[in-house]
Structure 1
Amino acid sequence: MISAIRHLKGSIPRQCMRSAAFNVNRRWMSAVNLSDADAVEKFRMLNSKSVLYFTATWCPPCKAIAPVYEEISTRYPHIAFGKVDVDENSDVALDFEVNAVPTFVLFDGEKAIEKFSGADSGKLEHHVMELEGR
């Protein structure tokens, strides 16, 4: 699957790839709900800088940080922000070794550069600012 996506990525004009729901260049865009492992992989491949937010509907700290994450996602238009529900996508959570929610994983290209758990808005903002400056 990965090689097929990489092959397609090279053969589809860039403007077509960017017109997908994973487009990071629209200033109004907030975090994208990612429904499965394929969506997460495509999201990471199409965006040079990205953040994944692992959450659960039953998690009080997740509910507390969610509006902060949404707000941050609108202030950094050159970073893509995705959300993964761990109950609906347990395989993705396992792939990223998520043991607690909320968990944030920041990527520069396909490389994970930071991972942390907890609803710490200051820490989230700090790491997103660092990612933007890379």
Structure 2
Amino acid sequence: MAVHIKDRDDFVSKLNDAGDSLVVINFFATWCGPCKMIGPKVEDLAKEFNNILLLKVDVDECEDIAVEYNITSMPTFVFVKNQSVVLQFSGANYDKLRQTIVDLK
């Protein structure tokens, strides 16, 4: 299940707890059409790949995190390993998202 981030402390805690597991951060907005389309598929991926941590960050609720990661469009997916960003892309491309998880996990 994807974890909805509430604030910066929650975010930092989840990243620390992830250790060397792959973390996929889904930056989204409730008003974003493509985000609404891919949202259920993101949940499916979180269930399918239970060895990764999938975080959902609402850019309006957690603007400070969005600014830190230079998020300018939604949805944006940021892939983190050992607290370092290894890849990032924008767009509601399910096949690319799934393949990137397979390649990085």
TM-score by length of 1: 0.75
Post-superposition Cα deviations, 1:45-71, rounded to whole Å, max 9, x if no partner, equal 111221100010000000001011000
Q: Which residue of 2 aligns with 1:86?
A: 59
Question: Mind listing any 5+ residue stretches in structure 2 that lack a counterpart?
Answer: none
SS of the equivalent of 1:67 reads: helix
Post-superposition Cα deviations, 1:96-123, rounded to whole Å, max 9, x if no partner, equal 1100000000111111111110000011
Q: Which residue of 2 aligns with 1:6?
A: none
Q: Is 1:36 the equivalent of 2:7? A: yes
CA RMSD after TM alignment: 0.7
- Structure with greater Cα Rg: 1
Question: In the TM superposition, what are the counterparts of 1:115-134 in structure 2 within 5 Å?
Answer: 115-132=88-105
TM-score by length of 2: 0.95
Identity of aligned residues (%): 35
What is the count of residue pairs matched by the alignment?
A: 103
SS of the equivalent of 1:119 reads: coil
Match of 1:54 among 27, 32, 41: 27
Greater relative contact order (Cα < 8 A, sep 6+): 2
Q: Higher strand share goes to which structure? A: 2
Question: Mind listing any 5+ residue stretches in structure 1 that lack a counterpart?
Answer: 1-29
